[in-house]
Structure 1
Amino acid sequence: MIENDISAIVFDAGIKIHRTLGIGLYENVYEKCLVYELKKRGLHVESQKNIDIEYEELKISKAFRVDLLIEDKVIIEIKAVQEINDYHFFQLLNYLRITNKNLGMILNFHSLLFKNGVKRVVNKL
């Protein structure tokens, strides 16, 4: 499955969760629901995945953690904030660059319209 197919499934699952639960809950609630929905749809999902990095000869374990890694291809960052800002965008872009992944998504469940709270972030795609 390619990244765009995965992102379409993630978006659809996010809409379902947003319509059902609305706004105002903690990020971890949306995350658990999204993991549940994506697994129901047959995707392999890793939640709160620790990522190791290398800097020159130095290896750093658990350098950062992504909210979700789907099919070992797409990184998902879940937010419940007023608005997505540049920091969120560049943080995810850096995660993609370091892990050599091509696509990430920021899902902000605090948006009144779910589609307005979704940001696709692309690295070399």
Structure 2
Amino acid sequence: MAKKLVIKVTAGTDARERCSQAFTVAAVAAASGVEVSLWLTGESAWFALPGRAAEFELEHSAPLSDLLDSILAGGRVTLCTQCAARRDITEKDVVEGVRIAGAQVFVQESLADDTQALVY
């Protein structure tokens, strides 16, 4: 089993099931003691803003805000630099604990030893 799991989620409210799956896998991995790095890209970028995860609903799924809180408590959440810029999101706008970083950091994390990367 990988010691670190990097998950890139590209979906938001446009593909609710895929979005929820990514957050669920990240939260379960973090709760299991795996080092987790969740990347918010594309439409999932909006969940870096306060209150946005609480607005997300999907029947038979854990609340996205709870999943995000557990990931932040046990892992790292990163908002894509370009995705943030396209949405006029800055570091002062995001939920506490969310960082903004670019593709170079994603590649470094994904290629690190004992790392598994997933894209949703």
TM-score over 0.5 for the alignment?
A: no
TM-score normalised by the chain length of structure 1: 0.32
Q: Return the index of the structure with the highest Cα Rg.
A: 1
Where is the strand percentage greater, Structure 1 or Structure 2?
1
TM-score normalised by the chain length of structure 2: 0.33
Where is the helix percentage greater, Structure 1 or Structure 2?
2
